[in-house]
Amino acid sequence: MAGLVNGAGASPPGSPADGYECARAWSALTAAHTRITAQLSAALDRECGLTIHDFEILLRVDAAGPAGLRLGELSAVVPLTQPALSRAVARLAARGWVSRAGVPDDRRGIIIASCAAGQAVLRRAIGVHAATIGELLLDRLSPDEQELLARVLSRVAAGPSAEQSAGG
């Protein structure tokens, strides 16, 4: 195992097949995510009474505007199982932060919309989020590094392009 740690027998540093560098990058990404998520979660709970998933739900629903968002669309962007997401939305609705309504032409469809109280708690939470992310991540990066990070993560989040999917 010492050979892998020292790079013996590995691909040349910086090559696409350099497994050690890949593992180092992954380790750094997951460690940063874990640290930031834990502290953001604690701050959102302490200041707003929200879980990180509640924040994500309120943010996505608010961005959808007055028309709201179908529960199925929400499940595609919030990392919860469908039953857990339904329970989270029910808790937010019970607090008066979102409303749930049936879709007229789809008896099984549910539309989630933001309420005024939900928008107010979201505004507070956005401030907490910005301060926490600033302190733990962005303040440690130069403006150029922040721009690079945003571009790279946006590209990764978008998934493979049509060209890459076709093998070209």
Tell the residue number behind the tokens 């590094």, with chain if given: 145
Decide: helix, strand or coil at residue 158: helix
What pLDDT score does 3 carry? 44
Is residue 64 helix, strand or coil? coil
Per-block mean pLDDT, blocks of 10 residues, the chain (168 long): 47 65 91 96 97 96 94 90 94 96 83 96 98 96 95 89 56
- pLDDT tens for 109-133 read 889 999 999 999 999 999 999 999 9
CA–CA separation, 133 vs 36, rounded Å?
7
What pLDDT is attached to residue 88?
A: 97
pLDDT, one tens digit per residue, over 78-90 is 999 999 999 999 9
Give me the sign of the Cα torsion angle 56, 111, 85, 118: positive
The domain 27-134 having CATH identifier 1.10.10.10: the answer here is yes
Facing residues of 101 across strands?
Answer: 111
Q: Report the candidate in 27, 88, 25, 26 with the shortest Cα–Cα distance to residue 61.
A: 88
The 3-state DSSP class for residue 101 equals strand
3-state secondary structure of 49: coil
Q: What is the pLDDT of residue 7?
A: 47
